[in-house]
Amino acid sequence: MSDTAVRVRELRKRYGDVVAIDGVDLDIARGEVFALLGPNGAGKTTTVEILEGHRRRDAGDVDVLGEDPGQAGRSWRARLGIVLQSATDAAEMTVREMVHHYATYYPSPRDPDHVIELVGLTGKADVRTRHLSGGQRRRVDVALGVVGNPELVFLDEPTTGFDPVARRQFWDLISQLADEGTTILLTTHYLDEAEALADRVGVIVGGKVVALGEPSTLAGRAQAMATVSWTGPDGERSVKTATPTQVVAELGRQFEGEIPELAVTRPTLEDIYLGLIGDQP
């Protein structure tokens, strides 16, 4: 079995005059959690839908779990987990019925009751899905996406509309799937989510990948200058420096006792991202 889950070379797609994907290269290793970031209209959904086999490409090579999504059949599809945004809208079935029903579509599914537990819905298993909250329905969507025991899971903006506690619980769930060896490709507009979950992120702007790397080192983040800030006798002060330890030591000599409001910060992933996308919305 190859170590590569997804391999994309020179992918291109246009819709009439609109160039949606303009020569994308991408490699995702098996077991990796990869986050695709980018502003609205950047080409994320188009890329993901081509990888899922739901959209035709104009040009380029695409290999997903050893097959071309444009040609692959049912047995290949059964190895993917696709978390749709609205699979559970207004369903009359209970959570348990729905997850058990979906499991029958797959040759070697997970235990449906275990999946319900994994997404934290055991207490709601006998509730009709139309009676669930938005966040709870989203958990059902995830349950349906993973009950087939997929090797690769696609998650499109998975936590939109989640409250902060539900987001953290969802992150734990994704980490657990990743620990079990599932490869995960997610798109998100939440930079903290990408930072918390992704081994690597790719930033796509105008149909091109403009940066690729680990969240902690993306686009020179690790080498970026630190900002030391504090409150002095004349009010708030801050300096940008490559040697924050030295600056703090010097301040320590100037102040007796604690340095008021001392903070040392480096650019967040969001700062780096905003720098990369420039004037894009």
Ligand X SMILES: Nc1ncnc2c1ncn2[C@@H]1O[C@H](COP(=O)(O)OP(=O)(O)OP(=O)(O)O)[C@@H](O)[C@H]1O
Q: Is 45 in the site for ligand X (CB under 6 A)?
A: yes
Query: In a 10 Å sphere around its CB, with 0-12 CB exposed, 13-18 middle and 19+ buried, how is residue 213 labelled?
Result: middle
Q: Which of 38, 69, 81, 267 binds ligand X (CB under 6 A)?
A: 38
Stretch that binds ligand X, among 34-42, 143-151, 160-168, 242-250 (CB under 6 A): 34-42
Specify the residue, 47 or 182, whose C-beta has the smaller distance to ligand X.
47
Dihedral angle over CA of 65, 119, 189, 203, nearest 10 = -20
The tokens describing 82, both together, are 């696709």
Q: Is 44 in the site for ligand X (CB under 6 A)?
A: yes
Q: Which of 46, 88, 149, 159 binds ligand X (CB under 6 A)?
A: 46
Rounded Cα distance between 79 and 152, Å, is: 7
Q: Is 205 in the site for ligand X (CB under 6 A)?
A: no
Question: Could you tell me how many residues of this chain bind ligand X (CB under 6 A)?
Answer: 11
Q: Is 40 in the site for ligand X (CB under 6 A)?
A: yes
Q: Which of 5, 43, 205, 221 binds ligand X (CB under 6 A)?
A: 43
Rounded Cα distance between 42 and 193, Å, is: 19
Least distance (Å) from ligand X to the CB of residue 114?
A: 32
Q: Which of 23, 31, 41, 275 binds ligand X (CB under 6 A)?
A: 41
Half-sphere exposure of 268 (CA within 13 A, CB side): 10
Asked if 152 and 121 touch (Cβ cutoff 8 Å), the reply is no
The SS3 assignment for 109 reads coil
Least distance (Å) from ligand X to the CB of residue 247?
A: 39
Asked if 70 and 57 touch (Cβ cutoff 8 Å), the reply is yes
The set of long-range contacts for 173-180, using a CB threshold of 8 Å and a minimum separation of 24, is 173/118, 173/119, 173/120, 173/142, 174/33, 176/118, 177/146, 177/153, 178/31, 178/33
What separation in angstroms does the CA of 59 have from each of 28, 50, 210, 216? 20, 11, 20, 33
Q: Which of 1, 3, 15, 254 binds ligand X (CB under 6 A)?
A: 15
Rounded Cα distance between 5 and 241, Å, is: 41
Site string for ligand X, 171-190 (x = CB under 6 A): --------------------
Specify the residue, 161 or 260, whose C-beta has the smaller distance to ligand X.
161
Least distance (Å) from ligand X to the CB of residue 43?
A: 4
Q: Which residues pair with 203 in a beta bridge?
A: 37, 211
Least distance (Å) from ligand X to the CB of residue 113?
A: 34
Q: Is 17 in the site for ligand X (CB under 6 A)?
A: no
Least distance (Å) from ligand X to the CB of residue 233?
A: 48
Least distance (Å) from ligand X to the CB of residue 91?
A: 25
Specify the residue, 212 or 226, whose C-beta has the smaller distance to ligand X.
212
- Interface residues with ligand X (CB under 6 A) are 15, 18, 20, 38, 40-46
